[in-house]
Amino acid sequence: MTQLATSVKLTLNNGKTIPALGLGTVPSDDPSDVKDQVITAIKAGYRHIDTAWYYGTEKYVGEALKELFDEGVVKREDLFITTKVWPSFWHSPEKSLDISLATLGLDYVDLFLQHWPVALHGDENGLPAQPRDKDGNLIYDDDPVSGTKFIDAYHSLEQILDNTTKVKSIGVSNYSLHKLKQLLPKVKHIPVINQIEYHPQLPQQDLVDYAEKNGIQISAYSPVGSNGAPVLKLPLIQELATKYDVTVNEVANAYHILQGRSSLPRSSNLERIKTIVRLPSLTKEELASLYQVGVENPTRYINDEWGYGLGFKWWEGDTLSKDFD
């Protein structure tokens, strides 16, 4: 019988565990749909929910959790909930976290991530989330290439970890190799996770190796390449799905989970959420062949403007990043 992805737990560098399959909560359309997505996922065995202040869905995640707790389906301690502080709130992560906790109806999150190593010019409430000048350019509080305020923001997360009971672990997201190398010598607590776009079309082995060598686990967002699920069209993914008699989504998740990384799929299709929970036992050779697809033709699907200058490879439109070592 095929193993279940929902039963796999990975151990973080602080000894805590994270369920390997997490449900993403970026809204597909109406954010309130996320409530049913979360309920469906938890009832199907997921124990990990990935959200963020920026997504505007914490309210609906919170409504789902309340219903599940009230009905006795799960207890708070059975779940792993992640939220994140957005760059326009870089100056006040604890305030952002307090808003997230109140909106989620929780008194702690399992993981609090710095969403991006970037400082955007938000007010005391982190607004606007995308501050722009009259020409439409992002307004920064710090230079995205040479600035170091992103390190101050991470220090604020460390203080929350040390001085409160509001978070069990802290980590980062969208850190390139260059940014991780800048951060690590300055930290007291190594981030437990770096959450990045990752799938067979986007190799970035140097970043993954560096993170893992330093005890930072990778969590893969956009595991099927986001809207339109382009990764699932790869012939090799389709072949493997046929071979193991699972869905293409399950092959995409297995690519990460079998290599010690959590995978964070999102879906507005409740049937899909329920049925992508198996873990096919892909061989080492098959995992290597999937990796090779990206080496030959690397493609990144999330190319947000606030990622410019961070030093990522293949970031479409990024003319700021130099050839960092």
Q: Which residues contact 196 (CB under 8 A, 6 or more apart)?
A: 173, 174, 175, 204, 207, 218, 219, 220, 221
Footprint (CB under 6 A) of ligand NAP, residues 237-296: 248-249, 264-269, 272
Q: Under a CB-based contact definition with an 8 Å cutoff, are residues 104 and 110 in contact? A: no
Residue 227 as a binder of ligand NAP (CB under 6 A): the answer is yes
Q: Which residues contact 48 (CB under 8 A, 6 or more apart)?
A: 18, 19, 20, 21, 22, 23, 79, 80, 81, 82, 262
Q: Measured between alpha carbons, how far is 7 from 257 in angstroms, rounded to an integer?
A: 11
| CB closer to ligand NAP, 96 vs 173 | 173
- Which among 19-27, 62-70, 119-127, 308-316 is the span making contact with ligand NAP, rule CB under 6 A? 19-27
Helix segments in 105-183, DSSP class H? 149-163, 177-183
Distance in Å, CB of 222 to ligand NAP, minimum = 4
Comparing C-alpha atoms, which of 169, 206, 164, 210 is closest to residue 191?
Answer: 169
- Which among 12-20, 159-167, 225-233, 279-287 is the span making contact with ligand NAP, rule CB under 6 A? 225-233
According to DSSP, residue 139 is labeled P
Q: Under a CB-based contact definition with an 8 Å cutoff, are residues 298 and 68 in contact? A: no
Binding-residue pattern over the window 52 to 91 for ligand NAP, x denoting contact by CB under 6 A: ----------------------------------------
46 is known as an active-site residue: no
Binding-residue pattern over the window 182 to 221 for ligand NAP, x denoting contact by CB under 6 A: -------------x-------------------------x
- Which among 22-30, 148-156, 233-241, 287-295 is the span making contact with ligand NAP, rule CB under 6 A? 22-30
Comparing C-alpha atoms, which of 113, 219, 210, 84 is closest to residue 171?
Answer: 113
Residue 96 as a binder of ligand NAP (CB under 6 A): the answer is no
Catalytic residue among 46, 55, 60, 301: 55
Residue 299 as a binder of ligand NAP (CB under 6 A): the answer is no
Residue 138 as a binder of ligand NAP (CB under 6 A): the answer is no
Can you say whether residue 291 is alpha, beta or left, with left for phi > 0 and alpha for psi between -120 and 50 degrees?
A: alpha
User: Which residues are part of the catalytic machinery?
Assistant: 55
Interface residue list for ligand NAP (CB under 6 A): 24-26, 28, 50, 115, 173-174, 195, 221-227, 229, 232, 248-249, 264-269, 272, 302
